[in-house]
Structure 1
Amino acid sequence: MDTLQSSAKPVPARASKAVISAYAEDIARQLGFQIGNTLEPIVATLGGIIAYRNPIYVNSNASESIVVRGGNDFTIYLGTMTSPERDRFTIAHELGHLFIHYPLTSVDGAPSPMIATTWVDDDDEDQRRAEWEANWFAAAFLMPAEDFASYAKQMDLNELAMTFSVSYAAAEMRKTSLGIT
């Protein structure tokens, strides 16, 4: 079932950006992820599936989301009107929710089902923080700092985006966040 009656929202870890980034890079290494690899096999290995939703016909808040029913049972929803590069970042972002936030949704010692959507109440500091953390995870997972910095010395932003299979905006933001000029 796509919606769960008593599902939790993501619980922020409140770890630093550096800690979350290091965690994401470690997870990527453990999963055997290499720069530019597709993420679909990783999602499948973890027990998840990827489904597509057209935001015109479905609540647009649900078109980019994750529904976690259990540690090895989750669905990542992607919009049908997004680029492959955007989809990669969304998948990595949703994996951030899975790895960082899902374990923190414990009820009586066991994680409870969780739903994370693109819609976040601006007045909900915890949800805003969880989204930042998932974005930090995605950026580090897809564009590991050391590798990204090395490539950035030799490439312009277009080449970086193509090498890491991310959008120009994602590559630009990563370059800025790492302080690379």
Structure 2
Amino acid sequence: MLASITPSPLSRAAIADYAERVAEKHHIFVNGESADIESLVDSLGGTIEVSESFVSPEALTVRDRRDFTVHLPALTSHRRDRFTIAHEIGHYFLHYLQPKVTGPKDFGRGSRNTAETQANYFAGALLMPEKRFREAWEKCGGDSWSVADLFGVSKSAASVRAQTLRLR
């Protein structure tokens, strides 16, 4: 069983700022609107593994700094996987690097708690930075499907981001 995760003391605004600074530092928006999330994992020293099992959970295994694996289930869409990867990167930054944890730590997914909400918020800001998102939202006339296409995320992820930015 996975140990519980201590939530980050950062506010939502600070989490969003942190995620956007990570995106900027690692230049994940080189080509267009969609973040190169896979290259970010690679540049951070991580790997991505797709499970061969149909019932594998999304999760993160950190062995140490610059040594982690994002685990993806076998039957999810590319857009869903992108958000999952960003979510797990959120755990890595907010619940491993920022509190200066050392050594191995596992992060599961599926629970509803503050740490999971924080990782989701980080993921949304990482994949859809506020300024870019607001511009895309206006350009697409508030159409969640069109905005989702620009950022390579699900309609649900784009809708939630619009709600958190109070565009809906």
Aligned residues: 162
- The correspondence for 2:89, drawn from 95, 99, 120, is 95
The alignment yields a C-alpha RMSD, in angstroms, of 1.8
Counterpart of 2:165 in structure 1: which amino acid? Answer: L
- Superposition pairs for residues 26-175 of structure 1, below 5 Å? 26-34=21-29, 35-56=33-54, 58=55, 60=56, 63-103=57-97, 104=99, 106=101, 111-120=102-111, 128-155=113-140, 156-175=143-162
Give the Å deviation of 1:99.
0.7
Give the Å deviation of 1:64.
0.5
Residue identity (%): 38
Give the Å deviation of 1:22.
0.6
* TM-score where L is the length of structure 1: 0.83
Which stretches in structure 2 are left out of the alignment for 5+ residues? none
Which stretches in structure 1 are left out of the alignment for 5+ residues? 123-127
* TM-score where L is the length of structure 2: 0.89
Larger radius of gyration: 1
Give the Å deviation of 1:160.
0.1
Contact 1:10 1:102 survives alignment (8 Å)? no
Tell me how far apart the structure 1 counterparts of residues 100 and 27 of structure 2 sit (CA, whole Å). Answer: 27
